[in-house]
Amino acid sequence: MNLADSEVVLSILSASGYEPTHELARADVVFVNTCSVRENAEQRIYGRLGDFKHYKQRNPSVVIGVLGCMAERLRRDLIESESHVDLVVGPDEYRRLPELIENAIAGERGIAVRLSRVENYDDIIPLRTDGISAWISVMRGCDKFCTFCVVPFTRGRERSRTLPSILREIEHLSARGFKEVTLLGQNVNSYHDGMHDFADLMASAATVDRTMRIRFTTSHPQDMSEKLIETIADHENICSSIHLPIQSGSDRILRLMNRTYTREQYLQLVKTIRSTIPEVSLSTDIIAGFPTETDDDHRMTLDVLREVEYDGAFTFRYSRRENTKAWHMGDDVPEGTKIQRLNEIIDLQREISARKNLGMIGQTVEVLVEGESKKSTEDYCGRTDTNKMVVFSKGGVRIGEYIDVKIERANSATLFGSPVAKAEQAYEERKLAANG
Ligand code: SAM
Ligand code: SF4
């Protein structure tokens, strides 16, 4: 989400004559785009701002700004405690950046953190560097108010972009050679532009360019409708990969979290998804150590992991956030217990992911070639439709094409194999058939 927002900021600034640079020494303006979801994200930002302090002392004319959720959350505190920060700008005020920078250059420090019920940057085409995959933010904010989560307070209420403007953005990206888009929102499947719901958006997005993969994140279980599940199943280029955060396996904790579903309802939803999209991969988010969580509650979470057998999970230690309802529930699970539970969740999920990946040895999977492998300059990497990372040798393969890879080795995070035959042709044929 922050990467997508940074591209919106770059677009707004480039319209005022600014150019991005990755070299700090060349920058006249430095922005840090921040996240407030967990405390350690904020701590990292303070560390980063500390680095900029020395830079500002040596280059007093450089404008330093804090963008995003932390700006909204800490406002004046930030500008008072970090004397080298000139601007504090929340996620709905980016249009004002050119004016605020001008003022800062003239010596006026600025705070702009008003949250909007309508701002969705619908008319702004984000400034992206060429590549294979792009993020498209389709809705902003959240109305769910889970009791642990700061998002509704820092990013404001839910609002969606219009479907035609999103389709135009996908057309643009297709013309530039992008091969994959990920539709983004804090609660992406509650998208509604007044006329179209998220299933309508996905169906339309899928028809823009049949050789382009469509992904989406993050879905809330409450908004995962049968219509949406069927739409995913009906379109070959909508990826069969769903991120469906459960947070906890205990009904008592789910109620305290205000998650609006029970464990049974969630498991029923998983059944419906798997019977409609048999090849689907599922991933989730889990919080360990929510206030009052007992060993029994924790065991129920481990049971859900065993029952669903997710392909992957993002796991977090509960972090108490100001303004949220859970703030008032205290933070009674000792840090050591949180870490121990988190480690048990991570170990179990690693075991499940490894077992599932090892089961793929011998299979041939279609992969979109994304770029060089991080660990070896002789290999490329790319992902399957089900979002599994695959590493394979470069020989005769180009970035941006679809290839078939036979899986030979695997661990819990990655599949390794060799290219078999190019799948591009099959993709072109499907596109022709769909358009025909
Ligand atoms: N909207 C998505 C949903 O409802 O599942 C999730 C978006 S949230 C920004 C990303 C994840 O951060 C959550 O799913 C949750 O697991 C985690 N998270 C949010 N607040 C947290 C907190 N206070 N402590 C620990 N983890 C938190
Ligand atoms: Fe936060 Fe997601 Fe809950 Fe919204 S639905 S409050 S973003 S965890």
- Site to substitute for ligand 1 among 73, 145, 301, 316, most atoms within 8 A of C-beta: 316
Atom of ligand 1 nearest to the CA of 314: 16
Atom of ligand 1 nearest to the CA of 186: 1
- Site to substitute for ligand 2 among 151, 244, 248, 287, most atoms within 8 A of C-beta: 151
Three-state secondary-structure class, residue 115? coil
Report the pLDDT value the prediction gives residue 436, as an integer from 0 to 100: 56
Report whether pLDDT(433) > 90: no
Tell me the C-alpha distance between 29 and 347, whole Å: 43
Tell me the C-alpha distance between 207 and 84, whole Å: 49
Q: What is the pLDDT of residues 291-318, one digit of tens each?
A: 999 999 999 999 999 999 999 999 999 9
CA 370 to ligand 1 centroid distance, Å: 28
Query: How does residue 121 score in pLDDT terms, banded at 50, 70 and 90?
Result: very high
Tell me the C-alpha distance between 11 and 136, whole Å: 14
> Could you tell me which residues are beta bridge partners of residue 406?
364, 418
CA 262 to ligand 2 centroid distance, Å: 16
Does 37 sit in the ligand 1 pocket, CB within 6 Å?
yes
Atom of ligand 2 nearest to the CA of 145: 6
Three-state secondary-structure class, residue 287? strand
Tell me the C-alpha distance between 287 and 267, whole Å: 18
Atom of ligand 1 nearest to the CA of 187: 1
Task: List, in order, residues 6 or more apart from 140 with CB less than 8 Å away.
Answer: 91, 92, 119, 120, 155, 156, 158, 159, 185, 186
Atom of ligand 1 nearest to the CA of 247: 16
Report the pLDDT value the prediction gives residue 429, as an integer from 0 to 100: 67
Q: What is the pLDDT of residues 318-377, one digit of tens each?
A: 999 999 999 999 999 999 999 999 999 999 999 999 999 999 999 999 999 999 999 889
Report whether pLDDT(424) > 60: no
What ligand is nearest to the CA atom of residue 217? 1
What ligand is nearest to the CA atom of residue 152? 2
CA 37 to ligand 1 centroid distance, Å: 7
The tokens describing 227, both together, are: 């219509």
Give me the percent of the chain exceeding a pLDDT of 90.
84
Tell me the C-alpha distance between 311 and 142, whole Å: 26
**Beta-carbon count within 10 A of 97 CB:** 22
- Site to substitute for ligand 2 among 37, 186, 188, most atoms within 8 A of C-beta: 186
